Amino acid sequence: MTAQVQELRLELPHIELSARVFGPEDGYPVLALHGWLDNAMTFAQLAPRLQGLRIVALDLPGHGLSAHRPAGVGYAIQDYGLDVLAAARQLGWDRFGLLGHSMGAIVGVIAAAALPEQIERLALIDGLLPYTTPAAEVPEKLGKALLAELELPNRRKPVYTTVEDAVAARLKGALTVSREAAELLAERGLMAVPGGYTWRSDPRLRLPSRMRFTPEQAAACLGAVRCPTALVVAAGGLVAPHAEAMRLARQQPHFSLHELPGGHHLHLDDAAGAQAVADCFNAFFAASTGRNE
């Protein structure tokens, strides 16, 4: 499926971000947020199938073609909320929708909970609650994270002789994707280095989090979401086996829940999965904006 796509650079006060833009200039404004170690290409199959939306798919900091955070600054999940809001302000959007996959969906929930006056609609793909740590375990987890950061300079990023080798490595990752999906992510995620290719993503993204939400804090964020929200859950993804997340999702009065076949990247793995997700979200945005489908 083909669609006109524009490249965009956003000079935010604290960092420079890259983005891919889909849809008509007068479409309903939506920021799209990808998952951990992915990039804006995660929406390459889905975005052209979404109707009447002006979608700005960001490369979040440390991912894709966007800048990395400065030395000594980590990648706490809540910090992406500032990136999202600063990007919207740069675009001149006072109120807008969010479309998120996996980590991007979690960021969307946090942003919508924190600033409900700005986030009008929330479309989530196989992501909902941040990983949590019980309060009693925080000191131990913090210590392990700090030690891991100290050791990072001794680690080297892998270099792959060919793009095909890098794609093959992505196919062996913990979150499996189709070859087509891996190739799309590689288009934006790889860079040439001496000896071959390596992934652009900041190695610090793989470090354990210094601090996580407690389970109570995560649940409170979800309960604070007030805007209409559509959650697509993949049968073979990450949310479906999480009984507590599913229970909380079903309790939210503003949520519509859609359970679809497919894996964690069902919106990117193939055209059929992308169309199934698009069918859910086109109806959701049409109902919210008063458009005819």
Q: Which residues are catalytic?
A: 102
Determine the Cα–Cα distance for residues 102 and 241; give it in Å rounded to an integer: 14
Both tokens of 288, joined, read 């919210």
CA-CA distance, 39 to 57, in Å (whole number)? Answer: 9
Q: How wide is the angle at C-alpha 16 spanned by C-alphas 119 and 51, nearest 5°?
A: 40
Distance CA 92, CA 89 (A): 5
Whole-angstrom Cα Rg for the chain? 18
Residue 208 zone, left/alpha/beta (φ > 0; ψ -120 to 50; rest): beta
Nearest to 107 by CA among 88, 86, 87, 130: 130
**How many angstroms separate the CA atoms of 145 and 139, rounded?**
10
